[in-house]
Amino acid sequence: MGVILCIVTQEKKRKASLLSQATQSLGDLRHTPRMTQTGPRRLRSSALDDDSQPQPQPQPQPSSSTTGMRLIVPLQGIVQGRGGLILGSVIPCAMFYFLQFYLKRRRSPPASNPPSPGNLTDLSRSASRSNLLLPRGRPHVSSRVSSIAKANDSPYYIGLDKATSDPYDRLCNPGGVVQLGLAENRLTLDLIENWITNNLNESLLGGGLSVSGIVTYQPHDGMTELKLAMAGLMSQVVGKTVTFNPSQIVLTSGATPAIEILCFALADQGNTFLIPAPYYPGFDRDMKWRTGVELIPVNCRSSDNFTLSIPVLEQAFNQARKRGQKVKGILLSNPSNPVGNLMTRETLLSLLDFAREKNIHIISDEIFSGSTFGDEEFVSMAEIIDSEDADKDRVHIVYGLSKDLSLPGFRVGVIYSYNENVLTVARKMTRFSSVSAPTQRLVTSMLSDTTFIKSYTERNRERLRATYDLFVDGLKELGIGCTKSSGGLYCWCDMSGLIRPYNEKGELDLWDKLLNVGKINITPGSSCHCIEPGWFRCCFTTLDENDIPVVMERIRLVVEACKSPA
């Protein structure tokens, strides 16, 4: 307010002075004779002549402060008689004063000692730069992140996390969670360990190989040597009824990217695949997350031992078409995961005929084909194609070493396709999922040791059968039955008599008791899209013979708690 009063006082004085000068000029004009028409021009000329003469200039007064502000007072409104003192002078002057005051406060002071070019960290941050450090909110990510980054809501993954955070160990953590939800074969780790111990160095650097063979770039879709060895293993697994062509093999870092690449190559976003249910819960992530395809469960029932029938498949296909969904193929698991049954030759032939009629593809996941232990014969889709010798372009096989050879940490998967376009795409896509060169060298050496592979396969099947029998017999003593299984690392258990009420909620209540009370992680059927409540998948290959009584005792306590009147 003091500044404004000062400005007003100064303006009053200047206005009075201007009015006085104007009055004096008017008085002079009254005493001047009348001018002719040329008078004004002569007057202006005289004035110009006067202006052209040098005039003494007032000396500027030194400012009291070098940083002082200049006040510019617009007097046009006063001189011309418009706006008066307030509108013509005071308000504009006050606004301009405060503008200069604001700019001066925002201006950073000059540095007394400029920093050297080599020490730019000494530069002071300006006010505008400091504002960048203020919170601006979280940066945006893609819309795909929201569905993937959210917390696990499937009991399958919740149980895996629980068992991982508190794993059971007979000596170190006997009260931990027993892992029966992960299809991992630990029954033959001793065989793998012995071979690697004896052959590691020779496999990586022996046989004339140099270090450049394992540290330099190698083909993304796999080394030729490993493809040859893999073709031999796959032929041996199916009983040498089929010869696999190494040129039709694409190697990936596990079976998961193999299935994803096939979905990418065969379907567009929003297209669908038919899949017999119950099925492995991981397919919901493996096939859908990045490709955008959808899965349509084809419901199988216990009355048929959960085997797939063509009428049910036809019904699911027609219903999908009515909903406007475009079906691009069928995904099969043979042996079935989680049931463990095998598809017969007749069923596979019928499926191939169905695919021809509907002009769709077949993806046959045969990752457990070497882990069979029953009386049933395993038949590969490759054998069906060889016998038919037609429509090979629509059949694609997935294989890997995680299950049959107990090497999930090596991450070696296989795409075997008869479609050259699919193979071309798969070879390019493996740029994002290739197998490391040291792993390929080691696995090539292992698979080339035919004596070891033959011995391992036989002993693995013997141990699978023995452990399966012990586990299923233990459940039978508790009143829990299982379907007949001939392959895989698990059994499909019927606990429907223990759930109340008989629906998905009752099934999840029992699963929660087994996990948090019994400290046992098993996979509920609802996670596998089974429409009949009360079925559970139990992976018995994570146990040794001494662990099975511990598991049965824990299940017994939960069973008794469920049967008690309370």
Q: What is the mean pLDDT of residues 66-73?
A: 44
pLDDT number for residue 215: 84
Q: List, in sequence order, every beta strand (DSSP E) within 89-241.
A: 178-179
Angle of helix 504-516 relative to helix 155-165, nearest 10 degrees, comes to 0
Residues 6+ positions from 12 with CB-CB distance below 8 Å? 85
Residues 6+ positions from 217 with CB-CB distance below 8 Å? none
d(CA 231, CA 236): 9
Instruction: With beta carbons less than 8 A apart as the criterion, state whether 287 and 295 touch.
Output: yes
d(CA 166, CA 179): 10
* Residue 129 φ/ψ, nearest 5 degrees: -65, -40
What's the one-letter identity of residue 250?
A: V
pLDDT number for residue 304: 92
What is the edge-to-edge ordering of all strands in the sheet holding 523-524? 481-482, 491-494, 535-538, 523-524
Residue 84 has pLDDT above 60, yes or no: no
pLDDT number for residue 211: 77
pLDDT number for residue 118: 53
Only one residue has tokens 């039978």, namely: 476
State pLDDT tens for residues 86-102: 555 667 677 777 777 77
State the catalytic residue, choosing from 221, 284, 286, 365. Answer: 365
Instruction: With beta carbons less than 8 A apart as the criterion, state whether 275 and 283 touch.
Output: yes
d(CA 540, CA 468): 7
Q: Is 454 a catalytic residue?
A: no
Residue 562 — left, alpha, or beta (φ > 0 → left; ψ -120 to 50 → alpha)?
A: alpha
DSSP category for residue 514:
H
Which has the minimum average pLDDT: 69-83, 287-301, 302-316, 542-556? 69-83
What's the one-letter identity of residue 362?
A: I
Q: Is 365 a catalytic residue?
A: yes
d(CA 372, CA 365): 14
Four-CA torsion 521, 525, 526, 530, nearest 10 degrees: 170
Q: pLDDT band for 375, please (50, 70, 90 cuts).
A: confident
pLDDT number for residue 89: 64
Q: How far apart are the first and last CA of the chain?
A: 84
Q: Which residue has the higher pLDDT, 194 or 105?
A: 194
Only one residue has tokens 């296989």, namely: 414
Tokens linked to 448: 């080339």
Residue 153 has pLDDT above 90, yes or no: no
Residue 388 has pLDDT above 90, yes or no: no
Which has the minimum average pLDDT: 63-72, 121-130, 533-542? 63-72
Q: Per the confidence metrics, is the pTM higher than 0.85?
A: no
Among 426, 418, 424, residue whose Cα is nearest residue 393: 418
Q: Is the peptide bond before 117 cis (omega within 30 degrees of 0)?
A: no
Residue 376 has pLDDT above 70, yes or no: yes
pLDDT number for residue 419: 97
Q: What is the mean pLDDT of residues 77-93?
A: 57
Which has the minimum average pLDDT: 44-53, 127-136, 193-202? 44-53
Instruction: With beta carbons less than 8 A apart as the criterion, state whether 257 and 267 touch.
Output: no
Q: Is 505 a catalytic residue?
A: no
Instruction: With beta carbons less than 8 A apart as the criterion, state whether 258 and 413 touch.
Output: yes
State the catalytic residue, choosing from 275, 403, 480, 519. Answer: 403
Residue 143 has pLDDT above 90, yes or no: no
Residue 318 has pLDDT above 60, yes or no: yes
Most confident of 134-143, 146-155, 544-553: 544-553
193 exposure class (CB count in 10 Å sphere: 0-12, 13-18, 19+): exposed
Among 551, 566, 374, residue whose Cα is nearest residue 478: 551
Residues 6+ positions from 542 with CB-CB distance below 8 Å? 178, 179, 180, 182, 184, 186
d(CA 541, CA 525): 19
Tokens linked to 230: 């893999």
Q: What is residue 95's three-state secondary structure?
A: helix
Tokens linked to 528: 């596998």
Q: Is 296 a catalytic residue?
A: no
Residue 268 has pLDDT above 90, yes or no: yes
State the catalytic residue, choosing from 97, 156, 168, 280. Answer: 280
Instruction: With beta carbons less than 8 A apart as the criterion, state whether 274 and 330 touch.
Output: yes
State pLDDT tens for residues 415-459: 999 999 999 999 999 999 999 999 999 999 999 999 999 999 999
Residue 17 has pLDDT above 80, yes or no: no
Instruction: With beta carbons less than 8 A apart as the criterion, state whether 257 and 413 touch.
Output: yes
Residue 270 — left, alpha, or beta (φ > 0 → left; ψ -120 to 50 → alpha)?
A: left
pLDDT number for residue 38: 42
State the catalytic residue, choosing from 249, 259, 367, 453. Answer: 367
Handedness of CA 232, 331, 360, 433 (dihedral sign): negative
State pLDDT tens for residues 452-481: 999 999 999 999 999 999 999 999 999 999
Tokens linked to 134: 């203020």
Which has the minimum average pLDDT: 114-128, 194-208, 344-358, 362-376? 114-128
pLDDT number for residue 139: 82
Read out DSSP for 79-134?
HTT-SHHIIIIIHHHHHHHHHHHHHHHHSPPPPSSPPPTT-GGGPPPPHHHHHHTS
Tokens linked to 531: 């429409």
How far is residue 68 CA from its own chain's centroid? 61
